[in-house]
Structure 1
């Protein structure tokens, strides 16, 4: 696998930075997709491509905000915020609205920004986590009040989800440090980190065992079974040790050897994340030019033998770490009170 060099997306990012209107922004986005096609041919590593694509998405959001003239402070979150977004990833965004802007005007401005982004091929989060929704478009005071509430009562009002989004939020047009504010609030509340760990280790999907592959029911969702649990554990562990790390590998490294995550488990999760992202990108790369959302689910029988073996192995490792963390949590091993 290669790192990005001649297939870099930096030129497209530079074009976005000086785009004067939607047409120029769309042209830069089209050029970026040509570079991605070259990256597929050149077998660029998934991690390198994700870092470049994440930076491109952040640049696209900043450019769209400038072209529309929206006055709020914009943030990217999710995989884009962490620097882990593969081409085709949707956008999770937040806005801290200007003090003199009404809620209706703030939402209308955000909708215009997201429409321009959609016209350029950058789609909004299908689950509704984007700035044209009132939950994700607030004044600074409303964000602060929400952050305190979600940390104190994580079981209410989607508190764990909101704290997670804020923990991954990166400003693209300036504004208050919502990520630091959310991290501080979570560390001060005994319920917040406990709820985040419970959410991180909940079983949402599994890699099918070998006997099911040829007997039907052998589909695997790589994101839900492998990547999501590791991302959530990394976020929880980094918050628990007071680390400011953002990417999942950096978060796991920051927490490794702590009372929350031993070195061995951190290494297993880091390796599982790297392999899971690589397999996920291979699934996406095969259909990169196809219409519709990129796939995260595949039949195990359709994968290469090497990928099947790797998925089964890292699936067992991730499940094992989740079971261990659930047990330790049940013994109050992580309690600081």
Structure 2
């Protein structure tokens, strides 16, 4: 994977826009509680695009949904804080979440065919909430929908504004979802694997659109994906999850990919296919984490700052010392 292929925008402002501190979420199954997220802490600044990667079931999407107040009925936050622009969204029982959802914070879901209402015209779905808030009539709302569809690259929006989701291609449906997410000019956009179901050409177009929105809106992005090439193309910072925990994160994606500190991060990067260099057998990720020290196997290993803006779950004193001093293996 060549991280120089993507032309990412550098974060304009690293002042915390989103702060997640010590977030823990549990799942209740048959009257028994099981941990789903364990002590998640991360930051997203204005104009920053942070990738959140990890294998399926690691807790990436739950992190987004907890931050939006969209957890399933059997999932609940047990501790921690979620602050948006300095405001604790969990302090008042979630009432603050309802006020910022869709306005200050927006979500682009993985599958628009499921997220969009199949019996509602797409133009109305794009602007329904903002039109209600601003007291717009049908004509004014329709004009704004056309404007947003143009902005996200839908050709001939006058033709498609009154269409139903099933009449649009997968790429067009995803653009409709993005148009709906930016209708209220959010400061923060969550992306839950929004390009997974798209072919590579449309995927590249959607990423270009996100880059343009990042520049135009100066919005922060928290981008969940399992595709490391997407992270390399769009994100400037990275958090890696495993089994409901963050095991490594850095404000400098390039440095972290060049010399990952945690064994799981190294294994994850080694499993990515490469198109340059000698042909090698593709490495897989085992069902369990790579062999770790006893310190890692202890409950909730602490995140240690090995360099400014770079944190690693403890992998043994020698490893931490090596990275803290800047020595390479």
TM-score (norm 2): 0.31
Which fold has the larger relative contact order, with Cα–Cα distance below 8 Å and residues 6 or more apart in sequence? 2
- Whose helix fraction is larger, Structure 1's or Structure 2's? 1
- Whose strand fraction is larger, Structure 1's or Structure 2's? 2
